[in-house]
Amino acid sequence: MESIIQGKAFVLGRNIDTDQIIPAEHLVYSLSDPEEVKLYGKFALSGVPLAQSGLPAGNIPFVQEGSFASDYTIIIAGQNFGCGSSREHAPFALQVAGVKAIIAESYARIFYRNCVDGGFVIPYETAIQLAETVKTGDELKIDIKANTVENLTSGETYQLNALGDVFNIVEAGGIFAYARKENLMAQS
Amino acid sequence: MEQTITQKILARAANRKFVNTGENVWLNVDVLLTHDVCGPPTFDIFNQEFGEGARVWDPEKVVVLPDHYIFTANEHAHRNIDLLRKFAKEQNLPNYYDVGTDRYRGVCHVALAEEGFNLPGTVLFGTDSHTCTSGAFGMFGSGIGNTDAAFILGTGKLWEKVPESMLFTFDGEMPEYLSAKDLILQILGDIGTDGATYRAMEFNGEAIHSLPMEERMTLTNMAIEGGGMNGIIAVDEITEAFVKSKTSKPYEIFTSDPGAAYFSKTRYNASEMEPVVAKPHSPDNRATVQSMKGTKITKSYIGSCTGGKLADFKLAAKILSGQRVSVPTNIVPATVKVARDLETELYNGKSLKSIFEDAGCSIALPSCAACLGGPTDTVGRSVDRDVVVSTTNRNFPGRMGSKQAEVYLASPLTAAASAITGKLTDPRNYL
C-alpha cells in the first residue's frame, strides 16, 4: 500500500447516489473484460447533474469527452456519499477512472463496504466540510500514516478520521487478501 | 443483557448468546440472493478468488432471481442472463429461476417471499440494496456488493457490524387513504436519507401489525432509503400464517427485550397522518399531497419491489375503478404471480386487470422495469422532462431514465388518483 496519495481534487455535494456515480443503463458491461471495463471509466460520475459536477464552479465534466479516465484522483464530497443501490460497479467505475481516494463527511454503508472489501478506493471520513473549502482542480496530498490531507494549492492541512477497524482490510487490498492473511477462507 | 430483535438474530448467526452494538462479528449466512445485474460479476470474483472448479458453500442456500433487465433487446443484458444460466448449471443450483421458462418469477424481493425463502430468525444477504425488504418477516436482510457476495458464496460467512436500532412505533388505526408508503415517506422526511446509516430500523405498533405482509414489505423495503442496514418487524399471527402457506421449513422467532437499548424511539399516530409524496430528487424530500396538489405530471408508474405487489394494485384499483387516466400510466406487476393474481382478484365484481385496462393503463410484463431506468428500450422509462408520480422507492436525478425528469414518490392510492387528473391529487378525492 502506498503511503502518499497525491492528485487533483474533484468536488461534489452531498447525497451523491450510485445512480449518479454510474447510471443504471451502463451496468450491463463486463467487469472483467479489459476493453469493456474501460467504459466504466468513461461513464464514471456521468449521472451527476452538470451544474453540480466539479464544485464550486460546476459544469466541469469528471471525464473529458472521448476519454476513458479522469484527470482527478481524489473525490471530495459532503454527507452520505454512495447512497442508493448496492452496485459495486460504482466504486469500481471510480477506480477505473483513476480515483485513488474519496474524502467525504460520511458514506452510505453498502458503498463504504464495497470500497473497502473490494479494495477499489480508500474511503476517508472527516468531520471538516472540505467540500466548502477545497476547489475542483486543487492539488491534494493524503498522508496515509498521519491521516491528513494537505491542499498544496492553498497550503492548508486537514485531519482525516482514522480508518479504524477497516484499516487492516484496506492495507491488505480487500476482504479476500485480508481473509487469506488471517486464514478466514475455510468453508463453514 | 437485554437485546433488540436484530441483535438476537445476529447473535444466533454468530453462534453467540449476546452481541454488542458496534462490534464486528462473523455471521453464518442462511441465504444469499443475487440477480442479473450483480450475479455475473459476483460469480466472476468467486471463480477468480476460489479458483476454477471451486464449489459454492451450499447450493440450496443460493437464490438466483433475474429481474432487472429482462424485457430488452440489449445484448449485454442478454449476456448477463447467459452467465447466470451457465453458473447455475455448473454449480447445480436448485434455486435458479431462469428467464423465458415457467420458472421465471420476477422481482427478487417479492419472489423470495412467494417462494418461502423468508424465514423468521434467519440472516439473508443479497446483492441488492432492497434486500432489507425481507425484514418484514422478523429476519435480518441486508444488501451487499459483489465482492462480499462472492466471499459468502465460497465460505458461507460475512463480517458485519452489529447495528444500533431505531424504533418507530405507529399507534392508532390505519386510515383507508393511507398506505405503508405514506408511513415510510413520513419517517424519511423526519430522519433524512442518512438518518439511519449503519442502524437497524425496527417498526412496531397497532397500525403496523394490522397491515398485511405485502404492506409491511413496503415499509422495510425503504429502510435503505434512510441509509438503514436493515428494516425489521417482529413476527405475529399474520407473519406465521403467510410463512406457513409458503414453506414447511422450521424457523425461530425472536423479539426485542423490553429493556433493550435503542438509538432512538419515535411514535406516530397513523390515524392522524396525511398522504405524502417525496418531491424530486430525494426520498426524504417530503410534502403532503394536499400542499402539492395541482402539480402537473406527464406519467404515472405503479410497480417495483416496493410498489408492484398485489396489495399495491388492490389499492390502485379502488381509485381507478370506473375511471379513466389522463396521462400514460404503467402498471408493472412485480412478479408473474402478481400478474396472474391481477386476473383473478376482483374489486366490485371486476378483475383488477380489467379495471386497469378499462381505465386506459398499460400493463407490462413483470420485472424491475423503469424503477431504475434500465436499457433505453425499457417500458415506462422516463424521457426528457417527464414529471412522473411513481410508487417506486428512489427519485434521485436520472433514476428512472432521463436526467432532466422529475419523480414524485407516492403511494399507489396517490399515484392512481393523480393518473386520473394528470396532476398530483389527494386520494381522498376518490374514496
Q: What stretches in chain B show pLDDT beneath 50?
A: none
Residues B63 and B208 in one domain: yes
Alpha helices in B37-107 (DSSP H): 39-50, 75-90
Nearest residue of A to residue B148, measured between CA atoms = A117
A55 to chain B, closest Cα gap in Å = 17
Q: Is B198 on the interface with A (CB under 8 A)?
A: yes
User: d(Cα A166, Cα A1) in Å, to the nearest integer?
Assistant: 14
pLDDT tens figures, A129-156:
999 999 999 999 999 999 999 999 999 9
> Quick one: pLDDT at residue B63?
98
Residues B248 and B372 in one domain: no
Query: Smallest Cβ distance to A28: which of B57, B69, B224?
Result: B69
Residue A184 has pLDDT above 90, yes or no: no
- Mean pLDDT throughout A48-74? 97
Q: Within a 10 A sphere around the Cβ of B98, how many other Cβ atoms? A: 16
> Quick one: pLDDT at residue B52?
81
Nearest residue of B to residue A119, measured between CA atoms = B147
Are B232 and B140 in contact by the 8 Å Cβ rule? The answer is yes
Domain termination site, one of B215, B244, B268: B268
Parallel/antiparallel/unpaired status of strands B140-143 and B62-64: unpaired
Q: Is B263 on the interface with A (CB under 8 A)?
A: no
Please answer yes or no on whether B146 and A25 come within 8 Å at the CB atom: no
Please answer yes or no on whether A117 and B76 come within 8 Å at the CB atom: no
Please answer yes or no on whether B57 and A188 come within 8 Å at the CB atom: yes
User: d(Cα B66, Cα B89) in Å, to the nearest integer?
Assistant: 15
> Quick one: pLDDT at residue B298?
98
Residue A15 has pLDDT above 50, yes or no: yes
pLDDT tens figures, A5-14:
999 999 999 9
- Give residue for cell 498521519: A146
The DSSP result for A118-161, as a single string, is TTSSEEEE-SS-HHHH--TT-EEEEETTTTEEEETTTTEEEE--
Residue A91 has pLDDT above 80, yes or no: yes
The answer, as to whether pTM is greater than 0.95, is: yes
Cβ contacts (< 8 Å) between B38 and chain A: which residues?
A: 86-88
**CATH (domain of B322):** 3.30.499.10
User: Could you give the ipTM of this predicted complex?
Assistant: 0.95
Nearest of A10, A187, A122, A49 to residue B399 by alpha carbon: A49
User: d(Cα B254, Cα B9) in Å, to the nearest integer?
Assistant: 7
Q: Is A51 on the interface with B (CB under 8 A)?
A: no
Q: Within a 10 A sphere around the Cβ of A180, how many other Cβ atoms? A: 12
Residues B207 and B303 in one domain: no
Please answer yes or no on whether A113 and B145 come within 8 Å at the CB atom: yes
Residues B45 and B105 in one domain: yes
> Quick one: pLDDT at residue A187?
54
Task: Name which of A16, A32, A88, A182 to mutate to probe chain B: the one with the most chain B Cβ atoms within 10 A of its Cβ.
Answer: A88
Domain termination site, one of B233, B268, B303: B268
Residues B200 and B260 in one domain: yes
User: What confidence tier does A186 reach under pLDDT thresholds 50, 70, 90?
Assistant: low
For chain A, what's the residue count?
188
Quote the domain boundaries for residue B241: 5-268
Sheet containing strand B329-332, strands side by side: B286-288, B276-278, B406-409, B387-390, B299-303, B329-332, B362-363
Burial B28-61 (b: 16+ CB within 10 A, else e): bbbbbbbbbbbbbbbbbbbbebbeeeeebbeeeb
Residues B68 and B209 in one domain: yes
User: d(Cα B181, Cα B222) in Å, to the nearest integer?
Assistant: 9
Residues B283 and B339 in one domain: yes
Residues B252 and B295 in one domain: no
Interface of B with A in 147-166 (CB under 8 A): 147-148, 151, 154-157, 159, 161
Residues B12 and B89 in one domain: yes
Residues B374 and B295 in one domain: yes
Domain termination site, one of B268, B296, B330: B268
Q: Is A173 on the interface with B (CB under 8 A)?
A: no
- Mean pLDDT throughout A48-67? 97
Q: Is A46 on the interface with B (CB under 8 A)?
A: no
Q: Residue B291: which residues within 8 A CB-CB, separation 6 or more?
A: none
> Quick one: pLDDT at residue B407?
98
- Give residue for cell 396472474: B340
Pairs of residues, one from chain A and one from chain B, whose beta carbons lie less than 8 Å apart: 148
> Quick one: pLDDT at residue A188?
45
Residues B245 and B104 in one domain: yes
B326 to chain A, closest Cα gap in Å = 29
Sheet containing strand B140-143, strands side by side: B62-64, B31-34, B123-126, B140-143
Would you give the end-to-end CA distance of chain A in angstroms? 30
Q: Tell me how many degrees the CA angle B14-B15-B16 measures, rounded to the nearest 5.
A: 90
Residues B90 and B179 in one domain: yes
Q: Is A77 on the interface with B (CB under 8 A)?
A: no
- Give residue for cell 471509466: A41
Please answer yes or no on whether B41 and A89 come within 8 Å at the CB atom: yes
> Quick one: pLDDT at residue A93?
98
Distance of CA A2 to the CA centre of its chain: 16
> Quick one: pLDDT at residue B309?
98
Are A42 and A184 in contact by the 8 Å Cβ rule? The answer is no
User: d(Cα B53, Cα B41) in Å, to the nearest integer?
Assistant: 17
Please answer yes or no on whether A47 and B398 come within 8 Å at the CB atom: yes
Please answer yes or no on whether B376 and A25 come within 8 Å at the CB atom: yes
- The helix or strand, by DSSP H or E, that contains position A111, with its residue range, turns out to be helix A109-117
Query: Smallest Cβ distance to A88: which of B145, B282, B394?
Result: B145
A18 to chain B, closest Cα gap in Å = 9
> Quick one: pLDDT at residue B205?
98
The domain total for chain B is 2
The CATH number of the structural domain formed by A4-181 is 3.20.19.10
